[in-house]
Chains A and B, each alone.
Chain A
């Protein structure tokens, strides 16, 4: 019986959204997003500025009411989460400006009172390691220090689901590396599921197990990081063939000389599109950053 219960628990995804639609001032930011996070995975959400990453994260956590679609957290509707689900989530917004009138110590003390698994020792030590004066008002900390305090706040609650919106934006390289190490450790040792949005592709390569690319309000690509090099490539067709190319592609770009670049994927049988076999066609493997630039541009 217990084994059955455990099996049921493991299949409930920590985060799942279906057909999520949201718009601001008539502009569709999310146009039917489907995304599921598997337990224990580290998903890097990537997209250009204004692609809707923060909106998607907020909708996933029930911090805004989408126009349509549904978001579930640990199997519960995100907009009506119970205390148990809330206690398992930690979210760090893009600009952590909350509770600026408290000191770092007061904020951690205040928030810690609500979490049953709060690790006060970790919070204290992490604050000391970061060299942040505990009695300093949060408003008086630098943006990087403030982001670190908020990350400490998130990690000290020992969450099962950690959601970070551009967590490294204000951090220096050393602090960024510490953060990534901590995230990788949490995911590896405690099985924490992590969703983080970022612009920094090297961070994705270092820590993410999966990536999701958001463009035009939809998830254009969602796969394991290791799969990207195997699964996607850039197909270049010279001008003479460009008109005849009918390869299904994630993006295409026509150059000034009439040649065409397409991002193509292997089909279900692991084959590249037939256009790749045309004479003069060239298939280039893509690094994660190139893939992002080709698709998102």
Chain B
């Protein structure tokens, strides 16, 4: 028995970014759970703690711990003795820790141990099944919790206090665990020879996953594994010497590639399917609310709520997400011996001097600024839907201006030979996101809930945004100056 090795196994088996993301999640979830347990004095506080733990464990079991299966897969391919056994032992150990430790902790505080254990086992089984199931099944599994909530009234299941709910959760957990074991065994037996695509396990995607893939940066490996019917359909019209910025977008790849309407439609297909699925769930909820009779008012309420939530969410994360997607592509293109950059550097008729630099900046900012424009429309739509919350909308507009300033500054610095690097970029965008959340949350607390301290923080928040925008303006100016100093704008950064 080598418990230390089993504990360290996921650390060695995962990408650095996934590893640190796991550390971040654990370092948020654990203190939050402890804080809820210590600070709340309600007898049902264990439910709050459990929900926080569920979020953390679901993430770890879906995206972090299953990566050890890739290690087992490689060990099998390379005929390394006993490595596979250690991986299985590691997963079993983490499974036991994930269920037993929180159960003991919450059980001593008065929570029903069987219910806690069943919910956590559901997390373990659900996460592992998500990772080992074919991609299209995994996507549907993501709707599982919403579907369960919608169906609960129809099947007469109560909350976590209900013994029948515990039994139901336990049964689902056991089914999921059995499915995960079956899928994992199949994965290991088939080895790495199985075709990649929508029918292959999600965990196989983790081998190529990175920030750039997450943002659709156009990696060869990711493109190779995508099915033909889902591939982007570039719109070649106008991508030539007459429109250098459009030609550059074609060469940058990922989110920058100009698409035909069919291509745009395909990209929106996922969103459309998600919306359709949410409609089905709303319909089921509306049916369940009146004991099987369709309740139109409930359905309409749920649709309104969905629309508002969607627009609100887009307003909150649209600015940062568009910046993230653009930066992931540009970081990749301007790093090392990128072949697209060589091609662009030697391509005639793209222009020269200042005009070429302007074209490059225009091409690189066009997509994030367009997406941020769409976010602006979402914010304005929210303001129109909730006219009484227009003041909060004003803060949302300010935050959008801030994230646009951050995106512009970071993009121009990459082009100008002063890239801030992946983690600093993530830090800047993260800071923008935190300020965005604060820009919506604090005014809401101050003006709707009349929380005194929230009102007092509004002026510092405003000042914070103004300082950040000023800093970004300075940074963008530095980047532009750097770009003008370079012999040409297609020089890769070393490394």
Contacts and interface: CB of A to CB of B under 8 A. Distances in A.
Contacts of B494: 24
Contacts, number: 105
Contact of B253 (A58, A96, A100): A100
Contacts of B341: 63
A19 B224 CA distance: 43
Contacts of B214: none
A111 interface: yes
Contacts of B223: 100-101, 137, 139-140
Interface in B306-347: 337, 339-343, 345-347
Interface stretch (A77-85, A246-254, A268-276, A286-294): A77-85
Interface of B: 218-221, 223-224, 228, 231-232, 234, 236, 239-241, 247, 250-251, 253-254, 257, 337, 339-343, 345-350, 352, 487-488, 490-492, 494
B233 to A, nearest CB: 10
Q: How large is the interface on A (under 10, 10 to 19, 20 to 34, 35 or more residues)?
A: 35 or more
B347 A62 contact: no
Nearest to A61: B346
B236 A83 contact: no
A115 interface: yes
Nearest to B339: A98
Interface string A61-88: 1111100000000000101111110110
Contact of B492 (A64, A99, A116, A137): A64
Given A65-B491, A99-B250, A100-B223, 17 more contacts: A58-B342, A61-B345, A61-B346, A62-B345, A63-B341, A87-B349, A98-B251, A98-B340, A100-B218, A101-B253, A101-B254, A101-B257, A106-B236, A114-B247, A114-B350, A137-B228, A140-B223
Given A91-B346, A100-B220, A106-B234, A62 B488 contact: yes
B120 to A, nearest CB: 41
A113 B339 contact: no
A79 B487 CA distance: 6
A139 B340 contact: no
B263 to A, nearest CB: 11
Contact of B345 (A63, A84, A87): A63
A86 B487 contact: no
Contacts of B491: 63-65
Interface of A: 24, 54, 58, 61-65, 77, 79-84, 86-87, 89, 91, 93, 95-102, 106, 109-111, 113-116, 137, 139-140
A289 B352 CA distance: 44
A64 B494 CA distance: 9
Contacts of B352: 82-83
Contacts of B234: 101-102, 106
